[in-house]
A and B are shown apart, each in its own frame.
Chain A
């Protein structure tokens, strides 16, 4: 029983930390967010290729 409670508390803490991280990311400057977006596009594109799905071209910007 105590084990379950401890796990419950831990999971709650983890979800809270995730939420806080997302809120922190939401406050980043837009230029930094765009850098993250392009990294995400590249990652997703690699996954699509691995799965044999049609690829989408990540943005070709150098800024």
Chain B
């Protein structure tokens, strides 16, 4: 995992991407009890000059040149299947911009904040997101004021209200 993160940092350093942040289940594991997952989801922003044409090709080309293999929608980096996801809407854009710095052993990395993770789960709202949200709320430290602001900014208040009423009887 540490070696994988070093490669992600290298992508940033080499200017292939502007920045990245870990999302999905692995980001959730930073805040809650471990759950089974096989993917490392990485949200990426590209440098402004390349932003017009959003394609993952530069990442794939660079990593292939380093000997990493593509397997379906993943690229295996140091034994970990990584899925790169370009920022695809305003919420994810904000989440990546405001991601928090974390350390894995001696390596720095960036992880989505708990409040943004929850908002993205709410926006995506697949069955696994609903299940994860319930546990996340039980186990993770979530700044409710911050979450409320995020939900407001991205038009998710009603959905949140419906979710809490349905699953938490609030």
Contacts and interface: CB of A to CB of B under 8 A. Distances in A.
A binds B: yes
B34 A33 contact: yes
A37 B40 CA distance: 12
A37 B34 contact: yes
B38 A33 contact: no
Contacts, number: 63
B32 to A, nearest CB: 5
Interface of A: 19, 22-23, 25-26, 30-31, 33-34, 36-37, 40-41, 44, 56-63
A22 B139 contact: yes
Given A19-B138, A31-B105, A36 B34 contact: yes
B143 to A, nearest CB: 16
Nearest to B31: A26
B30 interface: yes
16 contacts: A22-B33, A23-B139, A25-B34, A30-B30, A34-B104, A44-B36, A58-B38, A59-B79, A59-B80, A59-B81, A61-B1, A61-B4, A61-B78, A61-B80, A63-B2, A63-B3
B33 A26 contact: yes
A36 B38 CA distance: 13
In the complex, the 10 A-B pairs of residues with the closest C-beta atoms, listed nearest first: A60-B79, A25-B33, A26-B139, A36-B34, A61-B79, A40-B36, A33-B34, A22-B33, A26-B32, A37-B34
Give the most central of B32, B33, B102: most A CB within 10 Å.
Answer: B33
Contacts of B78: 61
Contacts of A22: 32-33, 135, 138-139
B71 to A, nearest CB: 9
Nearest to B104: A30
Given A26-B140, A31-B105, A40-B35, 11 more contacts: A23-B138, A23-B139, A25-B139, A33-B30, A33-B34, A37-B37, A57-B81, A58-B38, A59-B1, A59-B79, A61-B4
